[in-house]
Amino acid sequence: MITVTINGKAYEAQPGMTVMQVADANGIRIPRLCYHKALSPIGACRICVVEVKPGPPRPVPACTTPVADKMQVVTESETLTHYRRELLQLLLINHPLDCPICDKGGECELQNLTRELKISQQPYQAAKLTPQYDSQSPLIERYPDRCVNCERCVRVCRDWVGAAALYFDNRGYRTAVTAGGRVMDCEFCGSCIGVCPTGAIIDKTFKYSARAWQLQKEAAVCPYCGGGCHLVLETKKGQLKRVTASFDEPVNGGIICSRGRFSLDIVQHERRLTEPLIRKDGELRPVAWEEALDFVADRIREIGSRHGPFALAGIGSARATNESNYVFQKFCRAVLGTAHVDTTAALDHQKILRALVHVLGRPRVTWADGEGTSHRAIREVSGFQLALGTLDDLDRADTVLVVGSDVKKEMPPLVWRINQAQKRKSLRELLIVSSRHTRFRSSARWSGTCRPGGAGFVILGILKGLFETGGEKLRGLGDFRREEVLRRRLDATKWDLVQDATGLDRERMVFLADRLLTAERPSLVVGYDLAGLGDGYDAACYVADLLLVLGKKLKLHLTAEKANTQGCSDMGVSPHWLPGYAPLEDADRFEAVWKMEVPRDPGLTLAEIVAAAAGEGPSPIRGLWMVGTDLFGTSLNRSAVEAALERLELLVCQEAFLNPTAAMAHVVFPARLAVETEGSLTSGELRVQRQEGKTFASGPRDDWEILCEVARRLGRPMEYASAAQIFSEICQVFPHYDQYGLPDIPAEGFWWNRLYRTKYGSMGWRRVLDPSLKAVIPWLEMPPQVSEEYPFLLLVSRSLFQSGTLSRYGLGARTLEPQGLAWLHPQDARDLQVKEGERIRVASASGSITAPVGLDRRVPRRTVQASLHFQDLPVQRLTDGGIVYPVRVIPTAEVEPGQG
Amino acid sequence: MIGPLLKGLGKTLEQMFRKPITIEYPEKKREVSERFRGHPRLLRDETGRIKCVACHLCETICPSKAITVVPEGGPQMHDKHPREFIVDLARCIFCGFCQEACPKGAIMLNRKYELAQYRRDVLIYDKEKLLEE
């Protein structure tokens, strides 16, 4: 601690802080223009000049001057005001007087400064500059004449987002921010809009729709990916006008991606469902709530009495809140009486969780004996959740290894944190192994290209490398059983095989293993390129084994594609566990709380439910209840899903939009979106956050409300008055959530894997990885290989602008990527003699589609890359629950002359 | 005794030859002062375009919330004007704040004061009406 005197008053400060930071921390305002607290200071505008003693005899910028002990700072004096006024007047030479029409008017830092410094005229003249306006870029407009060259947009784009799409052109007086070309080639996250102090970069979707002071601001958690970013919804007269982010909050630090900023207009989309629909004479027709609820209850009773409760199944939603998912699985298990509960996350994210539960154990709390029940002391906590890291752990990590994940597209906040850690130099080594090149990958210290589908073998190879070269260093890190079996299995797997599967040789694997072993705080990021594999569970078992071997040191970060991917697993929407990952044998405990019977048999998984609904197996599924799920947006084979949904006697959907799945339903209930539902959401880093829920459309109801209504009609009522009441029941059955009541959850949420943080206040209990844990060593299948018949590989990928199928309705996503493309490497396209935009036919063993071609140098050779988001690109016809398939690519001109 | 009576009659006689003060409204209209604050109107510039740029300042300053502006962009980048500009004269208190707040001199109070109507909705003036006034 050092002491700094500012304007005659002494303040305490940490060494290394700048004058600006000390002043801000103590509520002293220094005028500033280029300084932004989320960005590294550059001291360009010199508006923040202060006088410092001891120091140079001239004013120095407060944002770049570090404080020293016994430093005396003066922030206001006649000279300083004179300097600032002169500087500002020089900036105003080229600034147009269009404040009345500028969208920034009212929240413009330049406007505020001009008023603050009482500038009413601008006496200088200079050569007129010709600004290069940009009105052609999608979603963003740029007015260079309003720019003050503060470099904030350039810094945020480079240091946070990692896109580096904006930079300075020219020198001196003619310096201007440019995007290179006529239109911007970037990620359209709009972070530059957020940091711009003037109206030089503005939101095209917001342009001229309201003035800043007319907007009401409300916080919300982003409903798109599992990053849990905080958004600020700005509304005027109940209409959403724009989405921004606050730089004060700790989760995403004010940065949001294009989905959150530009695609949230789905809440007031004209095609939102507002009335329940029932299929009458083959068509879905709007009916009253009572009629739809009664109809559903009757049909369920009928199917249940004729075929037994196990003819019914439920699919929960990674989009719905924890409360809705909890009530949903309770509805399925206790009210319908079926064990068939699953979610589409079972195809990817839940595979990793299953492996983690299997290897590292379920979350368990052991209480000390002899204490009261209200504030019991914890003796021990164990389970897989202790191995999962938070975003803050990424800040501290010195080595980050990314395997099997296109992180930016799956969960952008992870990338922003990694970029920041690299900028701060706390992250020394970023190692990325992926099958495709990405912009993020080019920022890595080391990157390797693995074959599509080889992510599991990469982890296996790293384990093999660890055991071969780790030696003494491995001792004392992990303590688990079956280590010998694991070693033997790894020894039996030859390096040649690993190299065949991954394309990476022994030397590189050993290098990665060595980096992980020598790092002090390593982090491993694993995502959907591993989890989405057909044998994703087996691959994830090796990830869990790696966590065992490296013990407490290694932190695992999972990407989550949807807002509550993690939460719906936590709430027990899975045939493998009850809420809180409780084993199915624990049903007694839940029966005591729910006062209803719970089936003990293991249920069918998602793929099995679809197969059973299509009539396969001894006991077919006849009724299916789905909450916020589009089965046609998953990697399940489209033809199989179609067959299954067509055969169903009853398909009930709770949806916000009439997506292709809901269009096949017998009954559709209009549901609120996750932004509109009061409740909690659990992000990919196990952060439980409160969603306050602001309703935009009248008509739709909360998912859990609809379920409670039907339960009451079925004679097994679940009486909940509010989301808070459901949350307290969740706390009762899952003690890790029992840290706050729903209304008391702090703005930044809480991590459920850090039980000690709040209520229990103590860290006195042991937090260890249980030595009784044992490695699980499944056989990994060789990733799909190309053959003569199928010379290409299909690699299912994700888009940066889309999220699942919900973003289809969003303005940003529609503007930026209206059409799904089959991406090819330009060289492959040349070999096939197809040009960009031409249609090709892609055929796999499961089916075939035609699609327009996109060219991208970052796509690996002999690979077709396509994503599942688009309605006009039914990639699902080619897949069967996985993400890599051998395919044949035929230019359509050869197959169907005349088409193209 | 007769003196005061004659004095009074004399005064009356004097009044008969003076110009009357009463204005026979509504047959005759009163001329109001230059600074009289009647109801607001919108102005056009010399090219005939509406001067208003829909900056919402009048709407913001209006103490009786009589003004509603719905902006609209034009083909040019700096082109902004009101799609709708509504003044509810039933709410207007003729304070003239809108005129003072306007950075473009686009809204001014005219000198009209005859606003009595049988229906309220007649008093809701839209953009065209305000430009005509």
pLDDT tens digits, one per residue of B32-76: 898 899 989 999 999 999 999 999 999 999 999 999 999 998 888
State the architecture of A364-558 in CATH terms.
3-Layer(aba) Sandwich (3.40)
* Sole residue written with tokens 């600032």: A84
CATH of domain A289-347+564-745: 3.40.50.740
Residue A862 CB partners (closer than 8 Å, separation 6+): A786, A791, A792, A793, A825, A828
| Residue B16 covered by a domain | no
**Beta-carbon contacts below 8 Å between A and B:** 33
Show residues of chain B in contact with A210, CB under 8 Å.
56
SS (H, E, C) A100-144: CCCCCCCCCHHHHHHHHCCCCCCCCCCCCCCCCCECCCCCEEECH
| Residue B26 covered by a domain | no
Judged by a CB distance cut-off of 8 A, whether residue A101 touches chain B is: yes
Establish whether B72 is an annotated binding residue. no
Into how many domains does chain B fold? 1
Q: Where are the domains of chain A?
A: 2-91, 125-268, 289-347+564-745, 364-558, 792-894
Q: How far apart are CA A325 and CA A871, in angstroms?
A: 26
Show residues of chain B in contact with A99, CB under 8 Å.
55, 103
Q: Do A133 and B77 touch (CB under 8 A)?
A: yes
Q: Quick one: pLDDT at residue A291?
A: 96
Q: Quick one: pLDDT at residue A771?
A: 67
Q: Which CATH number fits domain A125-268: 3.40.50.1970, 3.30.70.20, 3.30.2350.10, 3.30.360.10?
A: 3.30.70.20
Residue type for position A117: L
Q: Which parts of A196-288 fold into alpha helices (H)?
A: 258-262
| Residue B75 covered by a domain | yes
Give A343's strand partners: A316
Residue A102 CB partners (closer than 8 Å, separation 6+): A108, A143, A146, A198, A199
pLDDT tens digits, one per residue of A289-309: 999 999 999 999 999 999 999
Give A517's strand partners: none
Q: How close A105 comes to chain B (CA, Å)?
A: 9
Show residues of chain A in contact with B74, CB under 8 Å.
none
Q: What pairing do the DSSP bridges indicate for beta strands A239-244 and A230-236?
A: antiparallel
Judged by a CB distance cut-off of 8 A, whether residue B98 touches chain A is: no
| Mutation for B interface: A136, A140, A206, A211, most B CBs within 10 A | A211
Q: What pairing do the DSSP bridges indicate for beta strands A822-824 and A884-891?
A: unpaired
pLDDT surpasses 70 at A767: no
Chain A segment 114-143 residues within 8 A of B by beta carbon are 133, 135, 141, 143
User: CB-CB: which of B57, B60, B80 is closest to A208?
Assistant: B80
Closest B-chain CA to A146: B78
Element (H, E) at A645: helix A638-647
pLDDT tens digits, one per residue of A504-526: 999 999 999 999 999 999 999 99
Q: Quick one: pLDDT at residue A423?
A: 92
pLDDT surpasses 60 at A809: yes
CATH of domain A792-894: 2.40.40.20
Q: Is the dihedral of CA A240, A243, A248, A252 positive or negative?
A: positive
Q: Domain of residue B88: give its range.
A: 32-131
CATH value at residue B117: 3.30.70.3270
Show residues of chain A in contact with B54, CB under 8 Å.
101, 208
Confidence class for position A22, pLDDT limits 50, 70, 90 = very high
| Residue B42 covered by a domain | yes
Confidence class for position A479, pLDDT limits 50, 70, 90 = confident
Per-residue pLDDT, averaged over A582-597, amounts to 93
Show residues of chain A in contact with B65, CB under 8 Å.
none
Q: Return mean pLDDT, chain A.
A: 91
pLDDT surpasses 80 at A763: no
pLDDT surpasses 60 at A765: no
Tokens of A730: 């969740």
Q: Do A141 and B77 touch (CB under 8 A)?
A: yes
Closest A-chain CA to B80: A101
User: CB-CB: which of A100, A143, A213 is closest to B77?
Assistant: A143
pLDDT surpasses 80 at A770: no
Q: Quick one: pLDDT at residue A375?
A: 56
Q: What is the CA radius of gyration of chain B?
A: 23
- Per-state percent for chain B, helix, strand, coil, to nearest 5: 25, 20, 55
Q: Do A214 and B60 touch (CB under 8 A)?
A: yes
Q: Quick one: pLDDT at residue A495?
A: 94
pLDDT tens digits, one per residue of A361-396: 898 887 776 555 555 677 778 888 888 889 988 988
Q: How close A100 comes to chain B (CA, Å)?
A: 5
pLDDT tens digits, one per residue of B114-133: 888 999 999 999 999 999 87
A2-91: in CATH 3.10.20.740 = yes
Judged by a CB distance cut-off of 8 A, whether residue B52 touches chain A is: no
pLDDT tens digits, one per residue of A245-275: 999 888 898 999 999 999 999 999 999 999 9
Per-residue pLDDT, averaged over A560-582, amounts to 94
Closest B-chain CA to A144: B77
The full length of chain B comes to: 133
User: CB-CB: which of A96, A135, A208 is closest to B71?
Assistant: A208
From the list A833, A834, A806, A839, the residue with the least C-alpha distance to A820 is A839
Confidence class for position A773, pLDDT limits 50, 70, 90 = confident
Q: Do A100 and B77 touch (CB under 8 A)?
A: no
Q: Do A211 and B60 touch (CB under 8 A)?
A: yes
Q: Do A208 and B73 touch (CB under 8 A)?
A: yes
Q: Quick one: pLDDT at residue A764?
A: 42
Confirm if A662 and A653 have CB atoms less than 8 A apart: yes
Q: Quick one: pLDDT at residue A381?
A: 80
User: CB-CB: which of A100, A210, A213 is closest to B104?
Assistant: A100
pLDDT tens digits, one per residue of A176-206: 999 988 889 899 999 999 999 999 999 999 9
pTM reported for the whole predicted model: 0.93
Show residues of chain A in contact with B71, CB under 8 Å.
208-209
Give A51's strand partners: A74
Show residues of chain B in contact with A208, CB under 8 Å.
54, 71-73, 80
pLDDT above 90 covers a percentage of chain A that reads 78
Q: Quick one: pLDDT at residue A760?
A: 47
pLDDT surpasses 90 at A553: no
Q: Quick one: pLDDT at residue A619?
A: 87
